[in-house]
Structure formats: C-alpha cells, structure tokens
Structure 1
Amino acid sequence: MSQTQLISTKLNSASRRRKIQVGWKYMWAGLFICVCIWLISLVSHKLFPIPLVSFFWAAIIGLIFPLAGLIWGFAKNFSPLETARWLDKEKGLKERLSTAIELSETNLSSPWDELVISDAARAVDKIETRSLLPLRLPGQCNWILLVLIACFVLGFVPEHRSKNYLDLQRDAMVIKDVGENLEILTNWQIKESPPNFEASTAVLDSVEALGKEFQNGKLIRKDALAKLSSISEKLRSEINNAPPVPSLRDKASFPKDGVPASSPSDMQKRLSELEESFGTSKNISTEKFDALKSNLAAIKNAASDLSDADTDKGNQSRLDIAESLSKLSSSTKKLGLDIPNIEKALNALNSSDIDQFLSNINYSAQDLDKLAELSEAIENLQMDIDSIGKDLAEQLEKGQIFAALNRLEDMINQLESSQLTDLNLQEMIEELQLSLSPAENYGTCAQSLSNAKDSAKSGNKSAAAQSLANAKEELKNMLKQIADSQNLMQSLQNLERAQIAVGNCQAFSTTQRPGSSPDNNNPGAGVGTWGNDNQQLSPDQISDQWDNSGIQRPDASPLGFSSRKNNSPNNLIPSRVKGQINSLGQMPSISLRGVSIKGDSKVLFQEAVSAAQSNARRALNQDKVPRAYRDSVRDYFDDLKN
C-alpha cells in the first residue's frame, strides 16, 4: 500500500468515526428535548384540562428529535481536507496531514513533496481513530435522568381540576351514556315493531338522531335537557293523535299486521283440544290440585325416612305410607284424574322396592304438575272466551277489535253466500243498528256500518259487503295507529328516563328500574337480603317488588315483607335499671364512687356491683387490663364491695 493510500484510508476511517460521534451527540441532544417535551406536556396536563390524546402526540413529536439527530449525524459528510485539518489540530501534527493532502491533489512531483507525504504517512500510521473518537455518555444524560425522575414523580400527583370542569366532565359522560342507550333502544323498537306511518317513523328517527348527537360529547346538560323536552313534546303530540279507545290504550302489544292472532272459533277449538287431552275431569279448582300436591309431598318426605322393614317402626311407617297413598289414589280417581304412576308406586311399596317406589312418586308429582298447568290453561282460555262480546256492538263497546274483525269477516262471508235467509239478514241489520253507537269511537267505522245497514235493507248485498270491508279496513288501520302509539309511548318512557338521568347526573341504567341483581344494591325482590334504600324510587314504582314470597332460593327460606320476624339481636340484653324522672323539679343526685348520676331512680345496686366485679375479675384473669392499672382496678372493686 502506498503512502498516499495509507493516508486516504486513515482519513476515511476518521471521517466515518466522526459521523458516528456527531450522530451520537445529536441523538442525546434530541433525547433531552424529547424528555423536556414530555415534562412540559405532563405539567400542562396536571394544571390544565388537556385531553389525554395530547400525550400521544407529545410522545411522537418528542421521539422525532433523537431520530432526527442520529440521521443528521450519519448524513453529514466530511471532506479529506477537513478531516486532515481536524487530525492536525487534535494530534498536534502542525499541518502535516493537510499539507500532504493538498500536495497529493496536485500533479507536480518533487523530492520535497515526497518527503512531506512520507512524513505525514508516518504520523498518520500511529493514529488510532477508536481511541481518538470514543463513544461516551454526554453530560446531558444527568439532566435527562433528572427530567425522567421528575416525570415519574409527577405521574403520582393528582390533576388539578376545578369543580365546574369536573361537573361538566361528569355531565358529558352521563349524556354520552344516555345517547348510547337511546340509540340502542330505538333501534330495537324499530326492529321489533316497525312503525306503520311516516309520522311515527320520523319521530323515532329523530329520537335515534338525538341519541347519536348525545354521543358526540358537545352538549352541556342544559342543552341536552332542552332537546329531550322538545322531542318528548313531539312524541306526546303524536300519541294524542291515536284513536281515543281507552281499553285499547292499555294493551301492551299488537300483531304487526293488525290481524288478530286467533279468532274466537280458533280459541274454542283450542279449548276443545285441551279438554280432550285433560280427560273426563272438569271443574277441578286450583285448591284441589294444591291439596293433592301437598299430600303427595308429605308422602314423599315420609318415604325418604323409611326405616328397616324388619323393625316394628319400619313396618308401621310403610303401612302409614301405603294407606296415605291409597287415599291419594282414591281422591284422584274421584276427581277423574288418570295418574297411573301412583298405582305403580303403591305396588312397588308393597313389593319392598324402595327405589322404584321413590321413582314412581317423582313421576307422579310431575304428572300432577302437568295436569295442574293444563287445568289452569283451560280455565284461563275459558275466561278469555267468556270475556269476548257476543255480538259486534258488545265487542266494539269493550274495545275488542280483534273479535270485531272476525265478526265483520263472518258477516261479509254471509252476505256473499247464497244461503243467507231473510231472517239472518234481518238479524244482521239489527246487529248493525246496535253497533252504530259504540262504533262512533272508531273513526269512519260508524259511517261504513251505517252504509252497510242501509244497503242490506235495500237488498244490495254486494254494497253492504263492501261497506263492511271498509269498516274492517278502518279497524285494521286503527290497530296500526294504536300499535304505533304504544311504540311511541315506550319511546317516551325512554326519554323520561333519559331526562331523569341527565337531570340527576346518573347513569341511564340506574333510573326507574326497581329490582336487585348480584352486581348492584338497588332495592327489590330477594330472599334474606336487603338492598340500598337510598334510591329515588317512589312506592308506586317498587310496590310490585315488596313481596318476594314467590322467589325460589334453595339457600334461603322465602319470606314476604310482612313475614319477617322482629326478633331482637342475640347479644342484646334488656336493661335492669328502673327509675322515675320528674321533669318539673330539680333532679336529686346519688353518690357512687367514680360515677355521677343525677335523677330520682331505683337501681338494683347489689346486682350491678356483683356484675361489675365479675366482669372486672374476668378481665384481670384474661390479661385484658394493662399491667399498670391492675392494682387500681382491684382496689376500686374491693373498696366498693366493703
């Protein structure tokens, strides 16, 4: 390798090392700027309500500086002449390298030039760039460490926020929660019960839009309450446009298409099927079923404690159970109930097959429960059939639109049939005449029924059938209006809950929801537990939850509100001090060492002293009295005894 190449190699190595050192220096400088930005952002967050997203941007901006410093150092270029002059200065070479570089760049060659280059090559050969340019931690590291410690300590310092700001934040969280619940509930309502009219659709869409607006977090509580009040007024105006039929307004739900789910004839057919499956037994009250269940449960409990059959006690128990089971079998047969498992259980008991006996008893209980449920279903269905009006007038008066629709359909079929007699037509005309008065509450239904009556009188059956069809469509349209009204009423209840939540600054899920669950302490039904009574619920809202006798809990006995016992605590001892106090005069005093009591009373002194001495002696024996006070306690009670 020539002397010129040696000098060039050393200079290139030194140049690369200088790049690394400059990048290293600028990186630490950028890191210092980064931690300073973090400290400033953290202090700002502690003092001012800066959003948390600012930390994310501060971290990104801060990390840019050390990366930029490192890239800047690596990208910096040093010419050979600059590196040579820097080495001359650092090593004290008195411009040897820089002169050699300048001479090597010329094309002239002389002995003097070669001598200068040779001298520079000998000098540069002794230079070690690693030792000349070491990578050490700069002095800024101490400041960086101090700033990081300050950031760590500030992390435990609570934020300084004004009460007004905290109230606004809490209101914003509540409004956002209310908006989410309003949107979810409105979407569920539209999905489960789609509105039938454009006005109802527009109002529900406005409620959904209000929920989305609440979720933006830009409304204060005053504006949110104003918007809720405005939407509520729109809902009330739409609800007031519903048909004025009180009996229909109390219904909970209606079929989506406005057509009844089952007609009276279908209900009668269903009743016949239930009675056929029930058997020959009829008119069995719930009390009789309860008595049969109680007797069967008593037999089951007695059977669980059967003793050995070889003993007299065991034989007597089996005889008693067999007798009770025979009486139960006779009772079921008299009532017309067919429960074959009771006979099987009796046969198993007589054959000493206890396991089979218990199995048949369980099957008998299940059969009895099914029969009781079937009897209750028959009774309820019969009550529903009996409540249906006998004619169109009675059905309209009671608000039974489903039954009225079926009755109008039957009339239309009769008018279109060729088998309609004059007598039947006259009866239909009389029924339509009676229906005109109650039909006045059903929009244009009364006019359609009047037209049908007049057409029937004139013998125009097709026109009468068309008028009845118009009345039927009017009733269907009214059902749709009422269904929309019920849907809007549910949405209005949600808005009222939202107003309570926003006004009281509480979560939407805690408003007007009586009941208890494992996750909260709200008052409600339960067994053996009491909830938090500090809830703003009126007695009307929780009256249905007071009685918990119907709740099944295997780990606790069901007790109603009036069934709870007023027992005193076990550790409560009644006072034995008796006395009389005169409120009109000065109360005299009695002297007792260490005790000052004023009043006119009669005290069982001996008993009180004995009890006090016994307690003191027990405390002394169990080392409950500090050692420094033991002698004083003994002296006190000894003097009191004397």
Structure 2
Amino acid sequence: MSQTQLISSKLNSASRRRKIQVGWKYMWAGLFICVCIWLISLVSHKLFPIPLVSFFWAAIIGLIFPLAGLIWGFAKNFSPLETARWLDKEKGLKERLSTAIELSETNLSSPWDELVISDAARAVDKIETRSLLPLRLPGQCNWILLVLIACFVLGFVPEHRSKNYLDLQRDAMVIKDVGENLEILTNWQIKESPPNFEASTAVLDSVEALGKEFQNGKLIRKDALAKLSSISEKLRSEINNAPPVPSLRDKASFPKDGVPASSPSDMQKRLSELEESFGTSKNISTEKFDALKSTLEVIKNAASDLSDADTGKGNQSRLDIAESLSKLSSSTKKLGLDIPNIEKALNALNSSDIDQFLSNINYSAQDLDKLAELSEAIENLQMDIDSIGKDLAEQLEKGQIFAALNRLEDMINQLESSQLTDLNLQEMIEELQLSLSPAENYGTCAQSLSNAKDSAKSGNKSAAAQSLANAKEELKNMLKQIADSQNLMQALQNLERAQMAVGNCQAFSTTQRPGFSPYNNPGAGVGTWGKDDQQLSPDQISDQWDNSGIQRPDASPLGFSSRKNNSPNNLIPSRVKGQINSLGQMPSISLRGVSIKGDSKVQFQEAVSAAQSNARRALNQDKIPRAYRDSVRDYFDDLKN
C-alpha cells in the first residue's frame, strides 16, 4: 500500500468514526427532548383533563427526535481535508496531514512533496481512530435520568380533577352503558318478535338509534334524559293506539298466561293423550301425592337401621318397613297408580338385598314425581279447557281471540258445507246475534258479524261466509296490533330502566323492572316468599298486606278475608295461654318472653292456619330455598307443638 493510500484509508476510517460519534451525540440530545416532552404531557395530564390518547401522540413525537438525530449524524459528510485538519488539531501534527492532502491533490511532484507525504504517512500510521473517537455516555444522560425519575414519581401523584368533571365522566360512562344495553335489547326484541306495522318498526328503530347515539359519548345527562323522555312519549302514543280492550292486552299476546292458542278440539285431544298416559287413576289431588311422597321418604329414612339386620332392632325395623311398604302398595293400587318398583323393593327387602331395596325405593320416588307432574299437567289443561268460552259471544267477551278465531273458522266451514241444516243455520244466527254486543270492542268485527247474520237470514251462505272471513281477518289484525303493543311496552320498560339508570347515575344492570317480585323489599304481594335477611322495624310496618286488589295471572288475588277459617289441627293451649277471641278481651299471651295485655282483634287461629298451610304447600312444592327449609319447618313445628 502506498503512502497516499495509507493516508486516505486512515482519513476514511476517521470520517466514519466521526459520523458515528455525531449521530451518537445527536441521538442522546433527541432522547433528552423526548423525555422532556413526556414529562410535560404527564404534568399536563395531572393538572388538566387531557385525553389519554395525547400520551400516544407525545410518545410518537418524542421518539422522532432521537431517531432524527441518529439519522442526521449518519447522513453528515466530512471531506478528507476537513478530517485531516481535525486530526492535525486533535493530535498536534502541525498541519502535516492537511498539507499532504493539499499536495496530493496537485499534479506536481518534487522531492519536497514526497518528503511531506512520507512524514504525514508516518504520523497517521500511529493514529487509532477507536481510541481517538470513543463512544461514551454524554453529560445529558444525567439530566435524562433526572427527568425519568420525575416521570416515575409523577405516576403516583393523583390527577387533579374538579367535581364537575368527575360527575360528567361518571355520567358519560353510565350513558354509554345504557346505550349498549338499549341497542342489545332492542335488537333482541326485533329478532324475537318482529314488528308487524311500519309505525312500530320506526319507533323501535328510533330506540336502537338512540342507543347508538348514547354510545358516542357526546351527550350530557340532561340531554340524555330529554331524549329518553321524548322517545318514551312516542312509545306511549303508539301504545295508546292499540286495541282498547284490557283483556286482550293481558291475554292475547301471551297465550301461556291466558287461553292457549290451540283449538278446543286439539286441547281435548291432548287431554285424552295425557289421561291415557296417566292410566286408570283420576281425580288424585296434590295432597294425596304429597302424602305418598312423605310416606316413601319416611321409609327411605328408616332404611338406615337395616345395616344391623342381625340384631333385634334391625329385625323390627325390617318388619316395620315391610308393613309400611305393603300399606303404600295397597294405597297406590286403590288410587289406580301403577308403580311396580314398590313391589320390587318389597321383594328385595324380603330377600335381604338392601342395595336393591334402596335402589327400587329411589326409582319409586322418581315414578311418583313423574306421576305428580303428569297429574298437575292434566289438571292445568282441564282448567284451560274449562276457561274457554262455550260460544263466540262468551269468547269475545273474555278476550279469547284464539278460541274466537277457531270458532269463526268452524262457522265458515259449516256455511261452505252442504250438510248445514236449517236448524244449525238458525242456531248460528242466534249465536251471531249474541256476539254483536261483545264484538263492539273489536273494531269492525261487529259490523262484519252483523253482515254475516243478515246474509245468513236471507239464505246467502257465501256472503255470510265472506263476512265471517272479514271478521276473522279483523281479529288477526287486532292480534298483530296487540303483539306490537306488547313489544312497544317492553321497549318502554327498557326506556324506563334507562331513565332510572341515567337519572340515578347507576349501571343499567342494577335497575330492575317495575312490578311485583318475591325478592323485593316489603310491600304488597301475593303471598310469595320474600327475603329472609330483611326484618321489619316498627317504622317500616304498614297496612300493605291485603292483596285483594292485585291482578296477576300466576297467583290468586285473595285478601285475608278470603282465606279459609279452619283452625290448626295441632294447635294446643300449652303454648298459647288464655282464650283468644277476636271480639272479646285478651288477658295475656306468652310468646317467648313477650307479654301483651289488652284487647286484641287479631284472628290468631286463622292466621296460624293460613301460615301453616302456605308453609306446608311451599315446602312440598320446593318453593323455599333449600338452605331455609329446615328453619321454616322448625318454626312451624314450634307452633304445632
């Protein structure tokens, strides 16, 4: 390698090293700017309610500076002459390298030039660029460390927010949650029960659009409540346009709570099938099934002594169980119940097969449960059949639209049939005449029935059938209106829950639908079991216990005066001292340390009888939670004893 090439190689190496060093320096300077930007954004977030997305943009902008400094250093170019002068200055070469570079760029060649270049080559050969340009942490690192420590400490400092801002944030979260639930519930309503009319569709779409608007997070609570109120008024207006018959709104859209949608013939066929499955036994009450279950449960509990069968006590237990099983088998046969597992259990007991005996006892209990459910289904179906009106007038009066539709279909088929006699036609005319008055609540149905009656009188059967078909279509159209009304009422309930949530700043899931619930706070009800952990204080007790005015499809609206006046069978005067008379004087009552004197108008015997009956029924029908059954049973056992 020539002396000129050696000098050029060293200068190129020094230039590259200088680029790295400049990029290293500028990178740390940019990093210092980055952490300063992060500190400023963090302080701003602690003092002012800036959005969290600002940290994202601050991080992006801050990272641009160190990257830009590094790129700037790598992109900087140093000429050989600049590098030579820099080396002369750093190493004290007294401009040997810069002079050699200047001479090498000329075409003149003299001994003096060669001597200068040779001297520069010897000097540059001793230079180590790595040691001359080391990569060390700059002094800015201390400041960067201090800024990072400040950012770390600020992370534990709580944000300074005004009460008004916190309220707005909480309202925004509640409004967003309400919007999500409104949209989900409305979509589910439209999917499960599609609206039949454009007006209903438009209203439900407006509710869904309101839910989406709530999710944008741009509404304050006042505006949200105003929009909810506006949509609610629109819903109420649409609901008021529904048919004005109260019974229709209660029954027609929910056949399971009122008259089933099946025709009476289909229901009778179903009843026959159930009775055929049930067997020859009929008119077996629930109390009889409960008695059989109780007897079987006693036998099952007594089977625990059979493990000591070789002892005298075990033999006596076996004899007692065998006798009880025989009586139980006789009782079931008298009732017409076919439970073969009872006989199998008795045979297993006689053959000392205890495991098989217990297995058959369990199977017998399952058979009894199935028969009890089947008996209840038959009873309910028979009640539904009995509740159906006998003619069109009674069906329309009771609001039984499905049965009325089936009756109109039968009339149309009779009019179209050639086997219709004059007597049957006259009976149909009389039935139509009786139906005119209750049909006035069904739109144009009364006019169609009147036209059908007049056409039947004149002998025009085809016109009468057409008029009946028009009445049928009117009833179907009314059913659609009622279905939409029920759908809108459900949407209105959701809006009321939304108003409650937004107005009280609560989550949508914490609000409950209005109505009666066995788990609500004390108040009016229908005799269902309430919360056991809630006790009444004297200031909470009020006269809200008479439920005679409550209308619910799943419970009878009976008040206290409607209950039976039977006395408790096991009520003896050992616990209740003195004579209790609702019209006379009550000298004293001893109830667990409580002494009450004075006049009493409490019908104690009736109350105890009703409470025991309700408790026994609730226990038998598994309406009381398992954790509370023993407590309820022990309490009423104390009353009996």
Q: CA deviation at 1:74?
A: 0.7
Q: CA deviation at 1:344?
A: 1.2
> Which segment is superposed worse, 333-342 or 563-572?
563-572
1:422-457 per-residue CA deviation (whole Å, 9 max, x = no partner) reads 000000000001000000000011111111111111
Residues 579 and 600 in structure 1, CA contact (< 8 A), matched pair in contact too: no
Q: CA deviation at 1:536?
A: 16
Residue 195, structure 1, aligned to residue 195, structure 2? yes
Residues 589 and 597 in structure 1, CA contact (< 8 A), matched pair in contact too: yes
Q: CA deviation at 1:109?
A: 1.2
Q: CA deviation at 1:614?
A: 52
**d(CA) in 1 for partners of 2:165 and 2:462?**
74
Structure 2 vs 1, CA of residues 523 and 125 (structure 1 numbering), >3 Å: closer, same or farther?
A: farther
TM-score w.r.t. length of structure 1: 0.81
Structure 2 vs 1, CA of residues 218 and 601 (structure 1 numbering), >3 Å: closer, same or farther?
A: closer
1:220-249 per-residue CA deviation (whole Å, 9 max, x = no partner) reads 000000000000000000000000111121
**d(CA) in 1 for partners of 2:621 and 2:410?**
94
Residues 515 and 522 in structure 1, CA contact (< 8 A), matched pair in contact too: no
Structure 2 vs 1, CA of residues 549 and 625 (structure 1 numbering), >3 Å: closer, same or farther?
A: closer
Structure 2 counterparts to residues 400-439 of structure 1, below 5 A: 400-439=400-439
Residues 253 and 479 in structure 2, CA contact (< 8 A), matched pair in contact too: no
Q: CA deviation at 1:111?
A: 1.6
**d(CA) in 2 for partners of 1:466 and 1:87?**
115
**d(CA) in 2 for partners of 1:623 and 1:285?**
17
1:564-590 per-residue CA deviation (whole Å, 9 max, x = no partner) reads 999999999999999999999999999
Structure 2 vs 1, CA of residues 18 and 301 (structure 1 numbering), >3 Å: closer, same or farther?
A: same
Residues 512 and 537 in structure 1, CA contact (< 8 A), matched pair in contact too: no
Q: Give the secondary structure class of the aligned counterpart of 2:585.
A: coil
**d(CA) in 2 for partners of 1:435 and 1:30?**
93
Report the equivalent of 2:545: 546
> Which segment is superposed worse, 294-303 or 522-531?
522-531
Structure 2 vs 1, CA of residues 41 and 567 (structure 1 numbering), >3 Å: closer, same or farther?
A: farther
Residues 516 and 523 in structure 1, CA contact (< 8 A), matched pair in contact too: no
Structure 2 vs 1, CA of residues 497 and 17 (structure 1 numbering), >3 Å: closer, same or farther?
A: same
Structure 2 vs 1, CA of residues 144 and 407 (structure 1 numbering), >3 Å: closer, same or farther?
A: same
Q: Give the secondary structure class of the aligned counterpart of 1:539.
A: coil
Q: CA deviation at 1:259?
A: 13
**d(CA) in 1 for partners of 2:618 and 2:436?**
93
**d(CA) in 2 for partners of 1:502 and 1:373?**
45
Q: CA deviation at 1:310?
A: 2.2
1:320-341 per-residue CA deviation (whole Å, 9 max, x = no partner) reads 1111111111111111111111
> Which segment is superposed worse, 466-475 or 350-359?
350-359
Residues 47 and 159 in structure 1, CA contact (< 8 A), matched pair in contact too: yes
Structure 2 counterparts to residues 325-344 of structure 1, below 5 A: 325-344=325-344
Report the equivalent of 1:487: 487
Structure 2 vs 1, CA of residues 544 and 239 (structure 1 numbering), >3 Å: closer, same or farther?
A: farther
Residues 451 and 464 in structure 1, CA contact (< 8 A), matched pair in contact too: yes
Residues 175 and 215 in structure 1, CA contact (< 8 A), matched pair in contact too: yes
Q: Give the secondary structure class of the aligned counterpart of 1:145.
A: helix
Once superposed, what is the RMSD of the aligned Cα atoms?
Answer: 14.3
Q: CA deviation at 1:593?
A: 39
Q: CA deviation at 1:203?
A: 0.2
Q: CA deviation at 1:251?
A: 3.4
Residues 232 and 495 in structure 2, CA contact (< 8 A), matched pair in contact too: yes
Residues 578 and 587 in structure 2, CA contact (< 8 A), matched pair in contact too: no
Structure 2 vs 1, CA of residues 553 and 433 (structure 1 numbering), >3 Å: closer, same or farther?
A: closer
Q: CA deviation at 1:261?
A: 3.9
Report the equivalent of 2:625: 626
Moved over 2 A (4+): 251-261, 307-310, 513-518, 521-642
Over the matched positions of the two proteins, sequence identity in percent amounts to 98
> Which segment is superposed worse, 111-120 or 80-89?
111-120
Unpaired runs of at least 5, structure 2: none
Q: Give the secondary structure class of the aligned counterpart of 1:589.
A: strand
**d(CA) in 2 for partners of 1:310 and 1:172?**
77
1:541-566 per-residue CA deviation (whole Å, 9 max, x = no partner) reads 99999999999999999999999999
**d(CA) in 1 for partners of 2:613 and 2:422?**
106
Residues 528 and 559 in structure 1, CA contact (< 8 A), matched pair in contact too: no
Q: CA deviation at 1:505?
A: 0.3
Structure 2 vs 1, CA of residues 401 and 194 (structure 1 numbering), >3 Å: closer, same or farther?
A: same
Q: CA deviation at 1:307?
A: 4.2
Residues 204 and 488 in structure 2, CA contact (< 8 A), matched pair in contact too: yes
Q: Give the secondary structure class of the aligned counterpart of 2:228.
A: helix
**d(CA) in 1 for partners of 2:472 and 2:368?**
45
Residues 193 and 256 in structure 1, CA contact (< 8 A), matched pair in contact too: no
Residues 567 and 609 in structure 2, CA contact (< 8 A), matched pair in contact too: no
Size of the aligned set, in residue pairs, is: 640
1:344-372 per-residue CA deviation (whole Å, 9 max, x = no partner) reads 11111111111111111111111111111
Q: CA deviation at 1:112?
A: 1.7
Structure 2 vs 1, CA of residues 598 and 237 (structure 1 numbering), >3 Å: closer, same or farther?
A: closer
Report the equivalent of 2:51: 51
Structure 2 vs 1, CA of residues 53 and 603 (structure 1 numbering), >3 Å: closer, same or farther?
A: closer
Residues 581 and 599 in structure 1, CA contact (< 8 A), matched pair in contact too: no
Residues 182 and 494 in structure 1, CA contact (< 8 A), matched pair in contact too: yes
Residues 292 and 328 in structure 1, CA contact (< 8 A), matched pair in contact too: yes
**d(CA) in 2 for partners of 1:554 and 1:366?**
30
Structure 2 vs 1, CA of residues 221 and 613 (structure 1 numbering), >3 Å: closer, same or farther?
A: closer
Structure 2 counterparts to residues 184-263 of structure 1, below 5 A: 184-251=184-251, 253-254=253-254, 261-263=261-263
Structure 2 vs 1, CA of residues 255 and 71 (structure 1 numbering), >3 Å: closer, same or farther?
A: farther
> Which segment is superposed worse, 318-327 or 527-536?
527-536
Q: Give the secondary structure class of the aligned counterpart of 2:419.
A: coil
Q: CA deviation at 1:594?
A: 35
Residues 576 and 591 in structure 2, CA contact (< 8 A), matched pair in contact too: no
Structure 2 counterparts to residues 7-156 of structure 1, below 5 A: 7-156=7-156
Q: Give the secondary structure class of the aligned counterpart of 2:596.
A: strand
**d(CA) in 1 for partners of 2:516 and 2:46?**
40
TM-score w.r.t. length of structure 2: 0.81
**d(CA) in 2 for partners of 1:453 and 1:623?**
53
**d(CA) in 2 for partners of 1:420 and 1:584?**
66
Q: CA deviation at 1:66?
A: 0.7
**d(CA) in 1 for partners of 2:316 and 2:231?**
76
**d(CA) in 2 for partners of 1:211 and 1:85?**
74
Residue 392, structure 1, aligned to residue 397, structure 2? no
1:283-335 per-residue CA deviation (whole Å, 9 max, x = no partner) reads 11111111111111111110122242222111111111111111111111111
1:363-395 per-residue CA deviation (whole Å, 9 max, x = no partner) reads 111111111111100000000000000000000
> Which segment is superposed worse, 104-113 or 378-387?
104-113
Q: Give the secondary structure class of the aligned counterpart of 2:539.
A: helix
Structure 2 vs 1, CA of residues 105 and 60 (structure 1 numbering), >3 Å: closer, same or farther?
A: same
> Which segment is superposed worse, 400-409 or 274-283?
274-283
Structure 2 vs 1, CA of residues 253 and 540 (structure 1 numbering), >3 Å: closer, same or farther?
A: farther
Q: CA deviation at 1:106?
A: 1.2
Structure 2 vs 1, CA of residues 504 and 353 (structure 1 numbering), >3 Å: closer, same or farther?
A: same
**d(CA) in 2 for partners of 1:619 and 1:405?**
39
Structure 2 vs 1, CA of residues 324 and 270 (structure 1 numbering), >3 Å: closer, same or farther?
A: same
> Which segment is superposed worse, 353-362 or 551-560?
551-560
1:521-553 per-residue CA deviation (whole Å, 9 max, x = no partner) reads 999999999999999999999999999999999
Residues 564 and 606 in structure 2, CA contact (< 8 A), matched pair in contact too: no
Unpaired runs of at least 5, structure 1: none
